[in-house]
Amino acid sequence: MIPDDPIISVRGLVTRFGKHTVHDGLDLDVQRGEVIGVVGGSGTGKSVLLRAVVGLLKPAGGQITVFGENVRDTAPEEYRRLRRRWGVMFQGGALFSSLDVQQNVEAPMREQLDLSPQTRAALAAIKVRMVGLPEDALHKFPAELSGGMRKRAGFARAIALDPEIVFLDEPTAGLDPIGAAAFDTLIGQLRRALGLTVFLVTHDLDSLHAICDRVAVLAEGRVLATGTMAEMQEIDHPWVQAYFKGPRARAALVQKAAS
Cα angle 185-91-60, degrees, rounded to a multiple of 5: 120
Separation between Cα atoms, residue 187 and residue 201, nearest integer Å:
13
Separation between Cα atoms, residue 17 and residue 86, nearest integer Å:
26
152 pairs with which residues across the strands? none
Dihedral angle sign, alpha carbons of residues 129, 131, 137, 141: negative
- Domain locations in the chain as residue ranges: 1-28+36-85+165-174+184-259, 92-162
Tell me the H-state helices in 24-131: 46-53, 76-83, 101-112, 117-130
CATH number belonging to domain 1-28+36-85+165-174+184-259: 3.40.50.300
Cα distance between the two ends of the chain: 25
The model's pTM is 0.91
pLDDT recorded at residue 91: 84
Q: What does pLDDT average to in each consecutive run of 10 residues of the chain (259 residues)? A: 76 95 97 96 94 94 94 84 93 88 96 93 96 94 94 96 96 91 95 96 92 96 94 89 72 53
**Cβ proximity of 249 and 243 under 8 Å:** yes
Separation between Cα atoms, residue 122 and residue 238, nearest integer Å:
51
Long-range CB contacts (< 8 A, 24+ apart) of 180-185? Answer: 180/204, 180/206, 180/207, 181/206, 181/210, 182/132, 182/148, 183/148, 183/151, 183/152, 184/210, 184/211, 185/210
Separation between Cα atoms, residue 151 and residue 146, nearest integer Å:
9
Q: Residue 209: which of 19, 20, 71, 35 has the closest Cα?
A: 35
In the three-class reduction of DSSP (H, G, I as helix; E, B as strand; rest coil), residue 244 is classed as helix
DSSP string, 180-227: HHHHHHHHHHHHHHHT-EEEEE---HHHHHHH-SEEEEEETTEEEEEE
pLDDT recorded at residue 259: 57
